[in-house]
């Protein structure tokens, strides 16, 4: 017989920087329970099927597969989202985009655009906080659009429209009070691409040319055609790209350009406003 405490103690995930958390999440999923259950009932016996399921999860994690892909879900903001290898895994750093959007745009009705929506995380988080906003969420990958739509339906958020579009291509004539994006911003030869969880994530959601700025540059160049006067553009970028991104904002006529710092103390997003 095997008990919960023993399984956690012998999980052997030493290569993971979050080994204890990973083991708890995977065992809770194998049992169909919560993490608090594991701490409350550490001496409970684990049935053989559940123990085998847990071991299969552990093996996948030892091989580097992200926990979110193993479980098929990831928490973001206040939402639980379905995730899949077709999309980037939503990360806590990106919640800064949501937080900033809520702070800079008044609470009344507004049209807001999420470019490269992936799981739908940004658009759905904003929709849950601002029911009077109308969110458009676009992605160029059909599987991502389908995934974001499943998340939208499961969360019951009727103020979000998900559609296929490569950046602004299918949005001719549409203008928004705010545009947000967490686009690809990693350089092609960045060594981080062959390390950790990102090895399993789609390169199309990560890599943006030799300098990491290709998609950021395109969005900043084209956004003024799709923003209302006084409209805001908010972009996530790499920790060392703030200066270049702000220069692009200024070059294309944005004012009130600034950075926002993430929990790690790095400039994680930049924002600017079109003149009224």
pLDDT tens-digit series, residues 100-141: 999 999 889 999 999 999 999 999 999 999 999 999 999 999
Query: Between 4 and 115, whose confidence is greater?
Result: 115
Q: What is the pTM of this model?
A: 0.90
Residue 222 and residue 120 share a domain = yes
217 plus 260 within the same structural domain: yes
Same domain, 238 and 101: yes
Q: Indicate whether 206 and 122 sit together in one domain.
A: yes
Instruction: Give per-residue pLDDT as tens, 197-211.
Output: 666 556 666 565 667
Question: 106 and 146: one domain?
Answer: yes
Q: What is the number of domains present in the chain? A: 2
Q: What contacts 129, CB < 8 A, 6 or more positions away?
A: 98, 102
pLDDT at 59: 93
Q: Taking residues 147-161, report their average pLDDT.
A: 98
Could you tell me if 103 and 44 lie in one domain? no
Burial of 184 (0-12, 13-18, 19+ CB in 10 A): buried
Looking at the structure, do residues 251 and 123 belong to the same domain, yes or no? yes
Tell whether 76 is covered by a domain: no
* Domain annotation covers residue 70: no
Structural domain span for residue 59: 2-63
Q: State the average pLDDT for the chain.
A: 91
Q: What is the torsional sign of CA 24, 32, 36, 152? A: positive
Q: Does residue 143 sit in the same domain as residue 194?
A: yes
Percent over 70 (pLDDT), the chain: 91
Q: Do 138 and 188 reside in the same domain of the chain?
A: yes
Residue 193 has pLDDT above 50, yes or no: no
Contact 155, 162 (CB under 8 A): no
Q: Return the structure tokens found at 58.
A: 């552990």
CA–CA gap between residue 173 and residue 47 (Å, rounded): 59
Q: Which of 226, 276, 223 is nearest to 245 (CA)?
A: 223
Provide the CATH number for the domain around residue 220. Answer: 3.40.50.150
Residue 191 inside a domain? The answer is yes
Q: Is residue 77 part of a domain?
A: no
Instruction: Write the DSSP string, the chain.
Output: -EEHHHHHHT---TTSTTHHHHHHHHHHHHHT--HHHHHH-TTPEEPHHHHHHHHHHHHHHHTT--HHHHHTEEEETTEEEE--TTSPPP-GGGHHHHHHHHHHS-SS-EEEEEES-TTTHHHHHHHHH-TTEEEEEEES-HHHHHHHHHHHHHHT-TTEEEEE-STTTT-TT--EEEEEE----B-TT-GGGGSGGGGGS-GGGTB-TTTS-HHHHHHHHHGGGGEEEEEEEEEE--TT-HHHHHHHHHHTT-EEEEEEE-TTSSEEEEEEE---
Give the CATH number, domain containing residue 45: 1.10.8.10
Other CB atoms within a 10 A radius of the CB of residue 130 amount to 20
Q: Is the pLDDT of residue 219 over 90?
A: yes
| Position 74 in a domain | no
């Amino acid at each position: 017989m095997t008990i919960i405490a023993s399984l956690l103690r012998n999980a052997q995930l030493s290569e993971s920087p979050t080994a204890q958390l990973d083991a708890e999440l995977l065992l809770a999923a194998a049992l169909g329970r919560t993490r608090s259950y594991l701490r409350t009932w550490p001496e409970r016996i684990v049935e053989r099927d559940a123990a085998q399921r847990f071991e299969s999860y552990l093996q996948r994690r030892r091989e580097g597969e992200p926990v979110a892909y193993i479980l098929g879900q990831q928490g973001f903001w206040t939402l639980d989202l379905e995730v899949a290898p077709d999309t980037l895994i939503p990360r806590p750093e990106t919640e800064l985009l949501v937080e900033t959007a809520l702070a800079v745009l008044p609470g009344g009705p507004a049209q807001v655009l999420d470019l490269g929506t992936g799981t739908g995380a940004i658009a759905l988080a904003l929709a849950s906080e601002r029911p009077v906003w109308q969110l458009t969420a676009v992605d160029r990958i059909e599987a991502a659009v389908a995934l974001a739509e499943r998340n939208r339906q499961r969360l019951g958020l009727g103020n979000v429209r998900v559609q296929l579009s490569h950046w602004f291509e299918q949005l001719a004539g549409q203008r928004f009070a705010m545009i947000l994006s967490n686009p690809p911003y990693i350089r092609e030869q960045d060594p981080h691409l062959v390390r950790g969880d990102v090895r399993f994530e789609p390169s199309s959601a990560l890599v943006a040319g030799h300098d990491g700025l290709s998609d950021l540059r395109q969005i900043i160049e084209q956004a003024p055609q799709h923003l209302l006067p006084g409209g805001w553009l908010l972009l996530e970028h790499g920790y060392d790209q703030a200066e270049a991104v702000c220069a692009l904002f200024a070059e294309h006529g944005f004012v009130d350009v600034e950075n926002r710092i993430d929990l790690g103390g790095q400039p994680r997003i930049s924002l600017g406003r079109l003149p009224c």
